[in-house]
A and B are shown apart, each in its own frame.
Chain A
Amino acid sequence: MSQTARSAGNSNQQRTFMTRLKKNYIGWIFILLSVLGIGLFYFYPMVQAFLLSLRSGMGANLEFVGFDNYVRLFSDPTFITSLTNTFIYLLVQVPVMILLALFFSVLLNDPKLKFRGFFRTAIFLPAVTSLVAYAVIFKYLFGNDGLVNEFLLGMNLISTPLNWLSDPVLAKITIIIAITWRWTGYNMIFYLSALQNVDKSMYEAARIDGASSIQQFFFITIPLLKPIILFTSIVSTIGTLQLFDEVMNITNGGPGNATMSISMYIYNLSFEYTPDFGYAATVSYVIVVLVVILSFLQFRVAGDRD
């Protein structure tokens, strides 16, 4: 190769290198705002919250106490109650809702079913409501002289009105019913879309082998939808760990602290009781740890075998 050709090749290489460098640099401009924003509004506050969790005191007078706040968690009855409540919501509500949503989606996936569009839209409808608005409606529906009691009395299922909102167990059930009402249709849509990609011949084969619909549901549908079930259960778990709007507006945490969620306790510690931002930050780190552990566990349980 002649000298000139080689230098031309070199400068060509140099030029493509320069344009690549330039493009790379322009690429950073596109993402700059997002990187700064998420750093400023997510990661920086996370660090701040941790530093805050090592301090204690009222209002602005905070002093360093090391891990005292973390020790305090174990002897704080309200914290333990709100943690237990959150776990009850999680363990009861998420599986019930996901099973219901799966069940609806399988029924609605049948092309021979009449009024499919109507059923689908109706069941999805709750997902368009604002959390506060539906919470207030549920508070009235489940009130002592609310329509739920009137209906149950009218059907002769109960003889005296149930104290949905003032009985510790029933109040938790009310919260669980409310969340399930709001989110089942939302999850159903994910499963319905996923079912559209499922190979119908698998069901044919199963039917020929004599598998009942229920067997088909548990041994074909659920395994096939595993990735999307994993996704929705992680999203629901994170959502339930952060439960706030419903508890605040349906029961206000009561009776006593029987329905208090962790998020609501954090809110109360910061803005309702005498503010103790340090301890509130400590409690909030419990949610962070739980989100990380539970997401990890769900990945292990559901993701491993694939």
Chain B
Amino acid sequence: MKKIKRFLIYLFLSIAAIVSIFPFLWMLISMTNKSVDVTGGRLIPGSHFLENLRNLFATVEIGTALMNSFIIAIITTILTLLIGSLAGYGFEIYRTKGKDMIFNILLLSMMIPFAAIMIPLYRFFGQVSSVAPAIGIDTLAAAILPTIITAFFIFFFRQNTKMFAKDLVEAGRIDGLSELGIFFRIYLPTMKTTYAAAAIIAFMNSWNNYLWPLVVLQSPENQTIPLLISNLGAGYTPDYGVIMTAIVIATLPTALVFFLMQRHFVAGMMGSVKG
């Protein structure tokens, strides 16, 4: 009886693992096969990877899209971390009743669905276009700006600041550091793990963001990777080998980030729910 139960547990977990991994295997295999072989259900690696790669670069501007996605994700990550940690630190270290109230109001913004503010944002950046075209519709700046300040990261940094030794702030004051000096010279270096976890989440969110870039970025030279893949996937005569190559390239950065920093990633997810 007990043996049957163990067997069933392993069987169940193995099926779950196979179902979870299979799409990854399939895209890796299909990346090396011809389009007809992909649709034909071929499940062994072929020798068409270089050709797929060449076709991918020849048919779509994937270099540009990669560049745009990296620029957006890196700038977004840096600004998100900087602004979010300043606020999380500020709310916790300079805590007052008034600030706590503001903090709670900011948290409410986490419940605002993006679809609800998408149209006003689109119209807002449309108006910005006529004054400052450099940050208006169809610019990377417009894709970045509304995404860098989120209540989630303020909350995240405030939660983690609770574990930061406040004596260090006093020590910094006695040493004659300015309040901002304390933040940059003491807080920032001691909170490296928190920043690492936040960086992973921010980078992944930005790299994978789809709806807002879809709305605000219109010209092909401003396309990001998710937009490019979506367009490729919606084509009438798709070259499956090429599309799979593009998908693997799109998944690579986030998968790498995940595997290199798996521990921080889990810590980061948990940091967002800790009391």
User: Which residue from chain B places its CB closest to the CB of A143 in the assembled complex?
Assistant: B39
The answer to whether B87 has its CB under 8 Å from any CB of chain A is yes
Known: A35-B106, A119-B13. A42 touches B99 (CB 8 A): no
The answer to whether B149 has its CB under 8 Å from any CB of chain A is yes
* B11 to A: closest C-beta gap in Å: 11
The answer to whether A46 has its CB under 8 Å from any CB of chain B is yes
B247 touches A31 (CB 8 A): no
What A residues does B229 contact at CB under 8 A? 130, 132-133, 136
The answer to whether B164 has its CB under 8 Å from any CB of chain A is no
The total of chain A residues at the interface (CB under 8 A) is 83
Q: What class of interface size applies to chain B in its complex with A?
A: 35 or more
User: Which residue from chain B places its CB closest to the CB of A35 in the assembled complex?
Assistant: B102
A contact face: mostly helix, strand, loop, or mixed: helix
User: Which residue from chain A places its CB closest to the CB of B14 in the assembled complex?
Assistant: A119
The answer to whether B266 has its CB under 8 Å from any CB of chain A is yes
The answer to whether A167 has its CB under 8 Å from any CB of chain B is no
The answer to whether B121 has its CB under 8 Å from any CB of chain A is yes
B23 touches A134 (CB 8 A): yes
The answer to whether B7 has its CB under 8 Å from any CB of chain A is no
The answer to whether A218 has its CB under 8 Å from any CB of chain B is no
* A91 to B: closest C-beta gap in Å: 18
The answer to whether B24 has its CB under 8 Å from any CB of chain A is yes
Beta-carbon contacts under 8 Å, B210-228 to A? 210-211, 214-215, 225-226
Question: Which listed residue (A28, A129, A140, A145) contacts B251, Cβ 8 A?
Answer: A129
B247 touches A137 (CB 8 A): yes
User: Which residue from chain B places its CB closest to the CB of A278 in the assembled complex?
Assistant: B119
Q: How far does the alpha carbon of A134 sit from the alpha carbon of B116 in the complex, in Å?
A: 25
Beta-carbon contacts under 8 Å, B40-54 to A? 41
User: Which residue from chain A places its CB closest to the CB of B116 in the assembled complex?
Assistant: A284
Known: A130-B254, A280-B119. A30 touches B90 (CB 8 A): yes
Known: A31-B86, A228-B273. A52 touches B119 (CB 8 A): yes
B26 touches A141 (CB 8 A): yes
* B184 to A: closest C-beta gap in Å: 12
User: Which residue from chain B places its CB closest to the CB of A177 in the assembled complex?
Assistant: B19
Known: A41-B146, A113-B9. A34 touches B20 (CB 8 A): no
A147 touches B41 (CB 8 A): yes
Q: How far does the alpha carbon of A280 sit from the alpha carbon of B122 in the complex, in Å?
A: 13
User: Which residue from chain B places its CB closest to the CB of A213 in the assembled complex?
Assistant: B5
B41 touches A245 (CB 8 A): no
Q: How far does the alpha carbon of A119 sit from the alpha carbon of B210 in the complex, in Å?
A: 30
User: Which residue from chain A places its CB closest to the CB of B208 in the assembled complex?
Assistant: A130
What A residues does B176 contact at CB under 8 A? none
B115 touches A287 (CB 8 A): yes
Interface stretch, picked from A4-12, A158-166, A198-206, A266-274, is A266-274
What B residues does A152 contact at CB under 8 A? none
A118 touches B17 (CB 8 A): yes
A292 touches B115 (CB 8 A): no
User: Which residue from chain A places its CB closest to the CB of B122 in the assembled complex?
Assistant: A270
Known: A128-B251, A128-B255, A132-B229. A46 touches B114 (CB 8 A): no
B226 touches A287 (CB 8 A): no
B86 touches A30 (CB 8 A): yes
A249 touches B121 (CB 8 A): no
B119 touches A123 (CB 8 A): no
What A residues does B21 contact at CB under 8 A? 122, 125
What are 9 A-B contacts with C-beta separation under 8 Å?
A27-B94, A30-B87, A43-B109, A48-B124, A132-B226, A133-B247, A136-B247, A186-B269, A248-B210
- Top 5 closest pairs, chain A to chain B, by CB: A27-B94, A30-B90, A37-B149, A45-B120, A45-B117
By a beta-carbon cutoff of 8 Å, the part of chain B in contact with chain A is: 9, 12-13, 16-17, 19-21, 23-24, 26-27, 38-39, 41, 83-84, 86-87, 89-91, 93-96, 99, 102, 106, 109, 111-124, 145-146, 148-151, 154, 179-180, 183, 204, 207-208, 210-211, 214-215, 225-226, 229-230, 232-234, 240, 243, 247, 250-251, 254-255, 258, 262, 266, 269-270, 273
Beyond the given A30-B90, A38-B106, A292-B111, please list 16 additional residue pairs across the A-B interface where CB-CB is below 8 A.
A23-B94, A26-B179, A28-B94, A31-B91, A34-B83, A35-B87, A42-B109, A42-B151, A48-B120, A48-B124, A49-B119, A125-B21, A137-B247, A190-B269, A266-B115, A270-B122
By a beta-carbon cutoff of 8 Å, the part of chain A in contact with chain B is: 23-24, 26-31, 33-35, 37-38, 41-46, 48-49, 52, 104, 107-108, 113, 118-119, 121-126, 128-141, 145, 147, 150, 181, 185-186, 189-190, 193, 228, 231, 238, 241-242, 244-245, 248-249, 252, 262-263, 266-267, 270-271, 277, 280-281, 284-285, 287-288, 291-292, 295
